[in-house]
Every structure is written in C-alpha cells, then in structure tokens.
C-alpha cells in the first residue's frame, strides 16, 4: 500500500478535545496536541470520539488488505457475518483454533482494536447510519443493528460517539437522509472505485433463477432476515460514489447482516489498492488495469450457495450451470411467496437438505451429484469449515480430498468462497484463451501459465479477473 493510501486511512487524535479527525479536517490543533492513528477503529479503541465536522466515522473502514494474516481475515469475516453477536472472543478463538489471548494480540497488532471492540464498533456505526439516513424508530434500529436491547445500544453509542441515539438523530444533516420510496434505502459506501457495471456483467449470466436476478441495472435477491424473508435490491447510488441498497422486509431485525453480505458479494471489504498498483506495472496486465481500474475480487452473498454454484460450473457452460442451480432451488429450496412479479420466489436449500437429497431427480449427473452431496455433508457435519484459515496450499489439498473437487474447483472455491486473494485456477480454459489473445507466444500450457502467474502473487485472484474480463 502506498504512503498516500495509508494517509487516507489515517486519522489524527486531539488530546485536548478527545476527538479524532480526518487528515484534511478544517480544525488546526497544535501538532504537539495530536497523535496519528492508522484507522478510526484504533483511535476509538484509545478512547477518542469522532469529529462532528469532518465525520471520519462515516468513511468506509476497510480492514482487510494483503498484509492481513489469514486468521485475522477470517475472524473479520466471521464478525462481518454476525458471529460475535452471540459469542465471545474465547468462542471465536476455539472456532479458529487459537487462544483468545493470541487472537486479541493479533487484532491489536493489525487492526488496533480487539475483536469485541470491532464487533461493537460495527454495530454502533451501522446504527449511526440508520439514524442519519432513515426514519426508523430507535427500537427498530437497535434490532436492525444486532443489539440485544435499546439499553445496550444506548450504552454502546454513548461510549463510541459520546452521544445517545436520540441526540445523534438531532444532529443529522438534511443531506444525510435518503428519500424513501418503496422500501428502506441505505447508502453502502465503497472504499474506492468499484466497477459496478462489470460486476453486474459478470453476475447476470450466473444468477440462480428464483433466488437472484440482474435487471434494469440492479441486483436483486431473496433473503431470509431472521426468519422474515424479503428482497434486497442493490444499484448505483444517486451520487455515484457508492452503492444504494433498498430493503423490502417485513422486519429489519438483522438488517446489518444483509448489508454485510452485500459488501462481501461486491468485493467491498478488501483493500486491493496495493494489488492494482502492483499489477499495473506488469507489461501484460498493465493495460487491463488501466482500462478497468474499478475491477475487484468478488466474494459471495452466501458462502455455501456460492460453493454449490461453483461445483455446478464444472465442465458445463455458464448458462448450463445456472439452469441446474435453478432446478435444485425449485425442487429443494424454501418457497418465498409475494415476489413472483419480479421473478423471485425461493431461498437456496440448506447444506443439510442437499446432503440428503436425490439430485438425479433434477437432472444432475451422478458424478456431480456425488460432489455436491459430499460437499454439503462436510459443511453440515462441521468437518469442512467455510471460514477455514489454513494456508492456501493446505486448503486446496483439503478441498481436493472431497469427491469431485479437482484443482479448478478448489481454486475457484478458495477465491470466491474463502476469499483467498492468491488463488489461481490455472486450468481454466477461458483463462488460457484470454492469455493467448494478449500474449504473442500463443496459448500457454497449464504449467507455463502457473509459472507466469508467480510474478502476480499475492494478487493472482485479481489477475485472474482482469484476464477474463478485459
């Protein structure tokens, strides 16, 4: 990461006022009264509150980058998915195979705050955004943000912002609130440039019929929000500086989880500025990076759902894989009435349901059926953790022990499901053809492509995306 990029994330804490500000804040305190912190989270952990003028707390906090240890990255993803809402650091440590003390130490070294404080801060800042941008009641905001009670939210908000939720709502600006028309609207700030059009171009032919769709420049899908199914719609924001999420839900309890899954799907939780900078220097990839500066590494809305979609994509066309996924959903998914007019009506089946299903009835070939059922069974019984933080070669080796999981599928799973930025499906035929079109040496062998890709490490997943979407 460049010095400029680091400075953009850095905040200045002012000892005399107890606040922290963005680097470009109009306030001019004496330098002797200030101290830099690498992130707003670290300043908050030290006891400082955000400035009400420059509002550093509204800037997206990207915590994952190329220097983040794998165990910390997976812990952050667990926090993003709400793991800490009902668990302790001890429980998370056991889940990740390390002690709570060591986990806290890693977080202090790389994030500047403990896992508990990170989870608490995420809830508080999400609640602050709802206070600013919506007219939801304080009670509804407490539920949507993952707090156990309004009393807990009041206590946490007072700790983080030094104001109660009611006081913060009185301080919101006219420009903060979004116009509500047919659903609850929220801004989803981007950490940098995200090529939303390219994301939709990739997702459209790969959607699971009945579960998700891409139409009219928007991504829509069915979601199960704490037992209350609804639809989430994502499009480019009105100010084009981020995305805009519209939630059509009967209850907003757990809404924070839907926003987190949106960020994951569109690759907004990973800081890849350093990756783009490195790949831009490569003679082959440099022109691609320049032409598509906002290309990112996509994640997943639901890890298990994405994994099954990857397995279905083995040796079939993109359209064929989506058709098979739609059949599975219509036969084994959970029906959600009320959204037929927009072509949505199912939740994707659970791992337990797929593990026990006879997939021959929906036209899945025997070998593919075995792979899906084995994968689903491993997830259902806990022998495969979708938050595995092993070294990439170890994860690939573990995935390949499952029936029907070869090198291509294992690397695709590592990239899209587990979030490894250095995964590289070198056997992908489309990748080899794309490389051949750019290189004067013709189509390389798989081994030759792997050797060439070594110079792109540790960003080979992003290189893969640039090669396939020039």
Catalytic residues: 21, 428
Tokens of 227: 């037992």
7 alpha-carbon distance from chain centroid: 24
d(C-alpha 209, C-alpha 99), whole Å: 43
For the four alpha carbons of 77, 83, 85 and 88, in that order, the dihedral sign comes to negative
d(C-alpha 248, C-alpha 185), whole Å: 9
Q: How many CB atoms lie within 10 A of CB 309?
A: 24
Residue in this structure with the two tokens 């659903």, named with its chain if needed: 183
At 53, give phi and psi (nearest 5°): -90, -60
d(C-alpha 153, C-alpha 139), whole Å: 9
Q: Of 207, 196, 391, whose CA–CA distance to 306 is shortest?
A: 207
Cis before 458 (ω within 30):
yes
* Measured CA distances, 155 to 3, 84, 152, 159, 188 (Å): 37, 17, 5, 6, 25
Angle at 272 (CA atoms; ends 267, 277), nearest 5 degrees = 145
Q: Give the DSSP per-residue string, 216-246.
A: TTEEEEEEEETTEEEEEEEEE-TTSSEEEEE
In what helix (H) or strand (E) does residue 187 lie, and over which residues does it extend?
strand 184-189
Given a contact cutoff of 8 angstroms between Cβ atoms, the answer to whether 165 and 140 are in contact is no
């Amino acid at each position: 990461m460049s010095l400029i990029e680091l400075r953009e994330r850095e905040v200045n804490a002012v000892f005399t006022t107890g606040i922290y500000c963005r680097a470009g804040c109009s306030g001019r305190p004496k330098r002797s009264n200030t101290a830099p912190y690498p992130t707003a989270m670290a300043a908050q952990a030290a006891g400082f509150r955000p400035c009400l003028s420059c509002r550093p707390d509204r800037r997206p906090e990207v915590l994952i980058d190329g220097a983040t240890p794998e165990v910390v990255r997976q812990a952050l993803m667990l926090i993003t998915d709400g793991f800490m809402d009902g668990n302790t650091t001890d429980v998370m440590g056991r889940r990740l195979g390390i002690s709570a003390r060591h986990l806290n130490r890693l977080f202090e070294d790389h994030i500047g705050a403990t896992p508990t404080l990170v989870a608490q801060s995420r809830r508080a800042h999400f609640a602050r955004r709802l206070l600013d941008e919506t007219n939801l009641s304080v009670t509804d905001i407490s539920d949507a943000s993952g707090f156990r009670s309004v009393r807990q939210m009041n206590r946490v908000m007072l700790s983080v912002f030094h104001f109660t939720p009611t006081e913060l709502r009185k301080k919101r600006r006219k420009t903060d609130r979004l116009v509500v028309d047919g659903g609850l609207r929220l801004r989803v700030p981007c950490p940098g440039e995200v090529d939303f059009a390219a994301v939709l171009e990739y997702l459209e032919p790969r959607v699971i019929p009945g579960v998700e769709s891409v139409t009219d420049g928007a991504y829509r899908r069915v979601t199960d929000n704490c037992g209350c199914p609804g639809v989430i719609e994502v499009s480019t924001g009105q100010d084009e500086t981020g995305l805009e999420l519209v939630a059509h839900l009967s209850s907003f309890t757990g809404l924070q989880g839907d926003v987190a899954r949106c960020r994951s799907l569109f690759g907004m939780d990973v800081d890849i500025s350093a990756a783009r900078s490195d790949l831009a220097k490569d003679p082959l990839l440099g022109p691609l990076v320049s032409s598509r500066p906002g290309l990112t590494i996509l994640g997943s809305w639901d890890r298990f759902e994405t994994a099954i979609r990857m397995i279905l994509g083995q040796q079939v066309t993109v359209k064929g894989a989506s058709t098979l996924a739609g059949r599975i959903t219509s036969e084994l998914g959970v029906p959600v009435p009320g959204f037929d007019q927009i072509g949505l009506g199912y939740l994707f089946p659970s791992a337990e349901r797929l593990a026990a299903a006879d997939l021959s009835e929906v036209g899945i070939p025997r070998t593919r059926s075995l792979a899906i059922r084995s994968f689903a069974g491993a997830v259902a019984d806990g022998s495969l953790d979708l938050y595995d933080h092993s070294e990439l070669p170890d994860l690939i080796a573990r995935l390949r022990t499952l029936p029907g999981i070869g090198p291509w599928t294992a690397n695709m799973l590592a990239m899209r499901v587990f979030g490894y930025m250095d995964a590289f499906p070198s056997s992908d035929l489309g990748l080899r053809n794309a490389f051949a079109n750019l290189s004067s040496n013709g189509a390389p062998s798989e081994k030759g492509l792997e050797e060439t890709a070594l110079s792109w490490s540790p960003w080979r997943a992003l290189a893969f995306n640039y090669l396939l979407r020039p």
